[in-house]
Amino acid sequence: MNIHIPTRHNHKLRMLMEAINGDQELAQLYVCTNINAVDRSGLNDHGEIHIRIVANAALRLMRILVDAGVTPSIVRDHGLEPADAELVVVLAACLHDVGMVVHRQDHEMLSLVIAYPKARQLLATLYEEPQLTTMVSEVLHAIIAHNWEQECLTLEAGVVKVADALDMTQGRSRIPFEAGAVNIHSVSAQSIEQVRIERGDERPVRIVVDLSGTAGIFQVDELLQRKLQHSTLAPHVEIVARLESTTEHLSKVYKL
């Protein structure tokens, strides 16, 4: 596998990514996940590319929040470090959809069954008890809470929930839609040109969504805004949807 993220000076994160990229079982889980999602169910991609996008988005969100003075839950509640929070969000991103090898329905819950032993395995060389169990517990909560209506109890869970929604550029929507179908889901998904995570002025994070048509607003309203609203990131994030063309102009700001 080649899930590349900027580990910077976080040596534990670098070691975790080396373990993830060398894990043949996890690589095959991503293949099986995508077969169930795309080939058998006609849904959008949920494989290695999705994992790479979500992991990078989660890490960037976490780093911007920490730089702005927002305290990760694992630091506040367990006395660990912001660097450990980076491992939580990245590993949760890498494991959040593995339950789809069983079924799309309730895949968040099913992911926990596979993620528990895998998370312990991947973290066992980096942490001793009781920190190992703490880290695994935080990862599991972030996985179950990526469901849009599941309450997030930690900052890290909110990061993963929002990061999952950000994989929606040009058809890579997190809203399931039937491949090849022409409907509001597919038309809207094709209208997302680019998604950028930036440092904000009034709030720590600004998410900028560049649109090629006004139909893209459906994706922002029904996917991104909804997930943000049900996350712990709502007070820290603003969304800006922008459309600039010869015939249409739009700038819509979301502050929840």
What are the sequence ranges of the domains in the chain? 11-165, 169-255
Task: Compute mean pLDDT per 10 residues along the chain, 256 residues long, and list them.
Answer: 94 98 97 88 80 97 98 98 98 96 90 98 98 98 94 97 90 54 59 93 95 85 89 96 74 82
**Residue 92, Cα to own-chain centre: how many angstroms?**
8
The structure tokens listed for 181 are 């179908």
pTM: 0.90
| 3-state secondary structure at position 63 | helix
CA-wise closest residue to 166 among 229, 209, 115, 135: 209
CATH of domain 11-165: 1.10.3210
State the pLDDT at residue 105. Answer: 85
State the pLDDT at residue 47. Answer: 83
State the pLDDT at residue 165. Answer: 92
State the pLDDT at residue 182. Answer: 46
State the pLDDT at residue 178. Answer: 47
What are the tens digits of pLDDT across the range 157-168?
A: 999 999 999 998
What are the tens digits of pLDDT across the range 121-132?
A: 999 999 999 999
What are the tens digits of pLDDT across the range 70-104?
A: 999 999 999 999 999 999 999 999 999 999 989 98
State the pLDDT at residue 189. Answer: 67
State the pLDDT at residue 244. Answer: 75
Which strands sit side by side in the sheet containing 249-255, from one edge to the other? Answer: 192-199, 205-211, 237-244, 249-255
Those residues with Cβ within 8 angstroms of residue 80's Cβ, 6 or more apart along the chain or in another chain: 74, 131, 134, 135
Gyration radius of the chain's alpha carbons: 18
